[in-house]
Amino acid sequence: MYKSDKPIGFWSAVSMGVGAMVGAGIFALLGEASAISGSAVYISFILGGIIALFSGYSLGKLGARYPAAGGIVEYLTQAYGTGIFTGSMSIMLYLAAVVSLSLIAKAFGNYAVTFLPGTVSPLWHYFFSTGIVILFVFINLKGAKDVVVWERLIVAIKFSVLCILSVAGIVYINPVLLAPVNYPASSSIFYSLSITFFAYEGFRVITNTAEDMPDPAKTLPRAMMASILLVMILYVAVSFAVFGNLPADKVIAAKDFALAEAALPIFGHAGFVVVAVAALISTASSINANLYAVTNVTYQLAKYGELPSVFGEPIGHSREGLLISGILIVILSVLFDLSEIAAIGSISILFVHAITHIGHLKLIAQTGASRTLVLLAAIFSLLAMVLALVYVSKESHQVIIVLAGFVVLSVLT
């Protein structure tokens, strides 16, 4: 296992968590969540953030007690032992992480093509989404130290841009656009919970940095909660800024690049360009952070015999698992559209989180966590997953088939 020459401290871990969340959240999923919950999407982001805080509490306590590069894979093993069930859940986690990365790569491609003139061929989407994955695969081959350097710089840039957009958007807000009379049915807000939770899902990468932390028992839980709270505030502020300046139908029509579109009425074309550039930086940052995490997951799976040993063999400072994962990410980003990827990833990760929290209940004596809070984390995760399944079963049978395939593949692998 690669050890960083420069240990990951509190702010470095927070930067990685924020980088992973914001790339997959506001830039990639705001439009998808808005298509379901409309101008009430900020409510969904608040509720999704609350679920993430409960999950973050549970995973933070587990990470403090069992600091390991594999994160959730290690926690599942501690709770359920090694065997078919743990192996299946671990493979499901790996697949969900790969799906998440394919979603972010897809979002990068969507924003990148806005800089091309005229009607754009779909091949350009594939070119950009594939190219960014290949780039960061090689960056991550150099190890955790370079990941941290990238994250500090990128998070600072995108946070500045999003804060400026949020403040300016709120200053010029049109309260009529945010009036409750424009909200969809309350059921739509709850149906979008799985997507808004998925926008926070990147906080999980912090658990994979535990072996690179000098004091994980202290640093990991604090970094987890701090990153979720920061991103929660940002998501709500940006939601107000976007829907306070654009009608919901315009946001949904431009859902692949909704944030850049929202900058137009405030800053003009220059604002569109700046936000689109920030989106490229942000999604690239998220790919960077999540690739580091998924590599540690494949390492841990190989360690427990759930993946072939090739996933644990080093190339330079990293492992062949990183290269294989990169290939899978590219394939998924080409085969599925953004909404399908979001549904598959969110339902998969909610299921794995719920199982992990249930397993945590068996380890309460070792972790010192609150049984009530861990139980609520499990209940909220399951509830959001069920709501997502109900919605998806009406909208896309293809997603249900893919999820069933994931379950079969997880058991058979």
Residue 72's Cβ-count burial label (10 Å; 0-12, 13-18, 19+) is buried
Cβ-proximal residues to 99 (8 Å cutoff; 6+ apart), any chain: 332, 341, 344, 345, 348
Q: Which residues pair with 315 in a beta bridge?
A: 318
Fold designation for 10-412:
Amino acid/polyamine transporter I (1.20.1740)
Distance CA 245, CA 168 (A): 10
Distance CA 47, CA 57 (A): 16
Task: Report the pLDDT value the prediction gives residue 314, as an integer from 0 to 100.
Answer: 46
Q: Is the pLDDT of residue 386 over 70?
A: yes
Q: Is the pLDDT of residue 58 over 90?
A: yes
- What global pTM score does this model have? 0.84
Residue 24's Cβ-count burial label (10 Å; 0-12, 13-18, 19+) is buried
Q: Is the pLDDT of residue 95 over 80?
A: yes
Q: Is the pLDDT of residue 295 over 70?
A: no
Q: Is the pLDDT of residue 146 over 60?
A: no
Nearest to 54, CA basis, from 375, 385, 367, 352? 375
State the average pLDDT for the chain.
83
In sequence order, which ranges of 172-215 are alpha helices (DSSP H)? 186-191, 193-198
Task: Report the pLDDT value the prediction gives residue 299, as an integer from 0 to 100.
Answer: 60
Which amino acid is it at 369? A
2: confidence class by pLDDT, cuts 50, 70, 90: very low
Instruction: Give me the count of residues in the chain.
Output: 413
Quick: pLDDT tens for 215-258. Answer: 888 889 999 999 999 999 999 999 998 898 888 888 888 887 88
Task: Report the pLDDT value the prediction gives residue 315, as an integer from 0 to 100.
Answer: 39
Task: Report the pLDDT value the prediction gives residue 3, as an integer from 0 to 100.
Answer: 46
